[in-house]
Amino acid sequence: MAKKTVSFLVSGRGSNFTAVMKNINQGIISAKPGIVISDKPDAGALSIAPELGIDSVCINPENFSGREEHEREVYRVLKKYHTDLVVAAGYMRILTPFLVRKFRNRIMNIHPALLPSFPGVHAQKKAFDYGVKITGCTVHFIDEGTDTGPIVMQAAVEILNQDTPSGLAAKILSEEHRILPEAVRLFCEDRIRIAGRKVIINQDQ
């Protein structure tokens, strides 16, 4: 089976991007690195990309007249690198239907809550403030909604009495670093099938 090419969309420090790339470099994920695209010129992920052996570029939305024009350039670069899977690892932009349709069921996102609870930004604090006893993180495919696409994997995190919002976020992030590489590995091994809203994982391999 030919190796799939994995590319990334990032906006920040790139800890989830790093977690996936380390798994690729160590051979745990059988995949080829594509390109890291950031919408922020000062994103930390851009500076660590060379150390991880992957090309990187900033495509600044301020240089384009609208969201779709910006995404057309993003799409052009992703295609140039023959991208099979796009991993949105801390990408703080809602994608337009244009890019979603170009990579239907091939854009994975990591969200710091147990969807469908607490979609959108600041999910960790929302869960903490609401008083739920269990929260966590979700890997899902991006569709035209906000954090509404088919769910690939989830991990639960217990909220303890002594937890703080920042401490809870750190616990969730640790689980993100575990399940996102695992979801990417399953995709690259062709072990994921989508049936309506449900993601079926082949456990036989």
Check if 82 is active-site: no
Task: With beta carbons less than 8 A apart as the criterion, state whether 63 and 85 touch.
Answer: no
Strand order in the sheet with 55-58: 55-58, 31-38, 4-10, 85-88, 107-111, 134-141, 151-158, 198-201, 192-195
Catalytic residue among 70, 82, 111, 140: 111
Q: Catalytic positions, please?
A: 111
